[in-house]
Amino acid sequence: MAAGGFCKLPNGTVVVALNLPSPAAGGPAGVRVLVHAQNRARALTRLRNLGLRAVYLRGNAAPPTPDEITAVLHHPDGLIWRTAPDTTLGGPELVQELWHPIRSLLRRPTAQM
């Protein structure tokens, strides 16, 4: 099951954060996806409309950090991702990777000839 959480903002909107397995065949092992929407249901609907059908938010175990909230609020699409941090080494590692728009994750690779 994917870890995730949400944070309600003062203006009534929410930011939802989910750790998911990568939908790309040759992509990273896991991704952290952030969605900004009017409510939690709309945030999950945005992901499902992109083809991530089995996305559910159960609980609030991994809510977005203040830095993640700032990143998604400043992105024009309000839907970004990056490689999920590896927490198996005893604690969350600092991720130095920049955030990417969701279309770069879901884009199919071109055929190589």
For 45-89, the pLDDT digits (tens) are: 998 898 888 888 888 988 999 999 999 999 988 999 888 776 554
The phi, psi pair for 60, rounded to 5°, reads -135, 50
Q: What is the mean pLDDT of residues 94-105?
A: 77
How far is 113 from 19, CA to CA, in rounded Å? 34
Radius of gyration, CA atoms only, the chain = 14
Q: What's the pTM?
A: 0.79
Higher confidence at residue 41 or residue 23? 41
* pLDDT value of residue 90: 47
* pLDDT value of residue 25: 62
**Are 79 and 34 within 8 A, CB to CB?**
yes
Q: What is the mean pLDDT of residues 7-18?
A: 95
Whether 28 has a pLDDT exceeding 70, the answer reads no
- Range from 31-35, 48-52, 63-67, 106-110 carrying the lowest mean pLDDT: 106-110
How far is 57 from 47, CA to CA, in rounded Å? 12
Domain boundaries, the chain: 6-107
